[in-house]
């Protein structure tokens, strides 16, 4: 479990994070969504202990990142937004060096390295220098490194950025397996639709503050289709058949069918048959990104 508790952080006069608190439970995939500069990477760097907060703390399976750093960091894997490695070292050699942090012997680390390179799709590139790796290959390498000690918690910072469709598929499968194994996973993105397929919940951050935490189901129900029909007079009684098109709501002369599905012309015909005149018909479709902007806008 990852628990962020009242974390604040400033860079000079910029307040990057203000009282950020949220949890990622075991067996849960949580998306961390915000615009560029919202504070996602800053939060993630504090979670993994490479950046100190001004106040607040993070607990990894109950271990404080500030007070029990080693225990906390052994229990969390991290794929940074921009992985930075020694450029002139061969990939597998560098992997073996990093595995040393986890007290894994060089021979065992080589065996594990080959296995993980295969898993992340880097087989055959073990002897290439890291500076020769492409952006996506660096991400895949960082994934392999994060898997070294099979930790129970993970944070992924914009991990899909730079990955090709095969890499994206690999990551999605990996994340689903982590969930099955009861691991806690936080992954950031500035695009809500990118986390849609995976996230159980989404934490929204805007200008350093958590503005909303919603389940994916709640978000999807906000991104619904709505049919709005304006009539010449108030609708006295909602015709029974309308219920099969969604959830009807009447307000004065207007009929709104939330979660609309089906054909709008048949709804219009139905109302015409009942003796109403149709003044206006509008189908509103709210995309996930529009929901995101709505959530942000509500905070202004």
Ligand X SMILES: Nc1ncnc2c1ncn2[C@@H]1O[C@H](COP(=O)(O)OP(=O)(O)OP(=O)(O)O)[C@@H](O)[C@H]1O
**Residues found near ligand X in the complex (CB under 6 A):** 11, 14, 16, 34, 36-42, 81, 190
Q: Which of the listed partners (Mg ion, ligand X, none) does 152 bind, with a CB threshold of 5 to 8 Å by partner kind?
A: none
Q: What CA–CA distance (Å, rounded) separates 31 from 197?
A: 10
For Mg ion, the nearest residue by Cβ is 41
Q: Which of the listed partners (ligand X, Mg ion, none) does 210 bind, with a CB threshold of 5 to 8 Å by partner kind?
A: none
Q: What CA–CA distance (Å, rounded) separates 59 from 61?
A: 6
Q: Count of CB atoms within 10 A of residue 286's CB?
A: 14
CB of 158 to ligand X, least distance (A): 6
Q: What CA–CA distance (Å, rounded) separates 137 from 122?
A: 7
41 makes contact with Mg ion (CB under 5 A):
yes
Cβ-based nearer residue to ligand X, 11 or 293: 11
CB of 26 to ligand X, least distance (A): 25
The phi and psi torsions of 212 (rounded to 5 degrees) equal -170, 145
What separation in angstroms does the CA of 185 have from each of 28, 42, 154? 6, 17, 5
Cβ-based nearer residue to Mg ion, 41 or 153: 41
* Host H or E run for residue 231: strand 225-231
Q: Which of the listed partners (ligand X, Mg ion, none) does 14 bind, with a CB threshold of 5 to 8 Å by partner kind?
A: ligand X
Q: At what angle do helices 135-146 and 106-119 cross, to 10 degrees?
A: 130
Q: Tokens 């993630």 sit at which residue?
A: 44
189 makes contact with Mg ion (CB under 5 A):
no
User: Which of these ranges, 36-44, 58-66, 220-228, 230-238, lies near Mg ion under the rule CB under 5 A?
Assistant: 36-44
Cβ-based nearer residue to ligand X, 7 or 72: 7
Task: Please say whether the beta carbons of 153 and 123 come within 8 A.
Answer: no
Q: How many residues does the chain have?
A: 300
**Partners of 209 in the beta sheet?**
206
Q: Which of the listed partners (ligand X, Mg ion, none) does 113 bind, with a CB threshold of 5 to 8 Å by partner kind?
A: none
Cβ-based nearer residue to Mg ion, 81 or 196: 81
Q: Which of the listed partners (Mg ion, ligand X, none) does 38 bind, with a CB threshold of 5 to 8 Å by partner kind?
A: ligand X
Q: Count of CB atoms within 10 A of residue 62's CB?
A: 11
Cβ-based nearer residue to Mg ion, 193 or 221: 193
CB of 113 to ligand X, least distance (A): 29
The phi and psi torsions of 238 (rounded to 5 degrees) equal -75, 120
Cβ-based nearer residue to ligand X, 11 or 102: 11
73 makes contact with Mg ion (CB under 5 A):
no
CB of 105 to Mg ion, least distance (A): 35
Q: Which of the listed partners (Mg ion, ligand X, none) does 39 bind, with a CB threshold of 5 to 8 Å by partner kind?
A: ligand X
Q: What's the token pair of residue 271?
A: 């109302």
Name the DSSP letter for residue 129: B
Binding region for Mg ion (CB under 5 A):
40-41, 81
């Amino acid at each position: 479990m990852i628990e962020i508790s009242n974390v604040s952080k400033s860079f000079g006069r910029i307040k990057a994070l203000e009282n950020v608190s949220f949890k990622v439970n075991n067996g849960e995939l949580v998306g961390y969504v915000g615009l560029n500069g919202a504070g996602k990477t800053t939060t993630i760097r504090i979670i993994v202990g490479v950046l100190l907060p001004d106040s607040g703390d993070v607990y990894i399976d109950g271990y404080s990142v500030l007070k029990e750093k080693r225990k906390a960091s052994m229990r969390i894997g991290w794929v940074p937004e921009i992985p930075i490695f020694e450029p002139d070292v061969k990939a597998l050699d560098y992997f073996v060096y990093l595995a040393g942090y986890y007290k894994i012997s060089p021979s065992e680390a080589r065996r594990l390295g080959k296995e993980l390179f295969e898993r992340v799709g880097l087989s055959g590139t073990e002897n290439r220098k890291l500076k020769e790796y492409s952006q996506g290959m660096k991400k895949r390498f960082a994934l392999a490194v994060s898997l070294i000690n099979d930790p129970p918690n993970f944070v992924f910072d914009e991990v899909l950025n730079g990955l090709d469709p095969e890499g994206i598929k690999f990551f999605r499968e990996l994340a689903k397996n982590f969930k099955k194994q009861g691991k806690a996973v936080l992954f950031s993105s500035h695009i809500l639709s990118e986390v849609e397929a995976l996230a159980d919940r989404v934490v929204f951050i805007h200008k350093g503050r958590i503005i909303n935490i919603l389940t994916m189901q709640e978000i999807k129900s906000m991104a619904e289709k709505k049919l709005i029909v304006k009539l010449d007079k108030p609708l006295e009684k909602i015709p029974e058949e309308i219920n099969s098109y969604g959830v009807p709501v009447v307000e004065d002369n207007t009929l709104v069918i939330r979660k609309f599905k089906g054909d709008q012309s048949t709804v219009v015909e139905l109302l015409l048959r009942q003796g109403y005149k149709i003044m206006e018909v509008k189908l509103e479709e709210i995309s996930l990104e529009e929901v995101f902007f709505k959530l942000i806008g509500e905070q202004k």
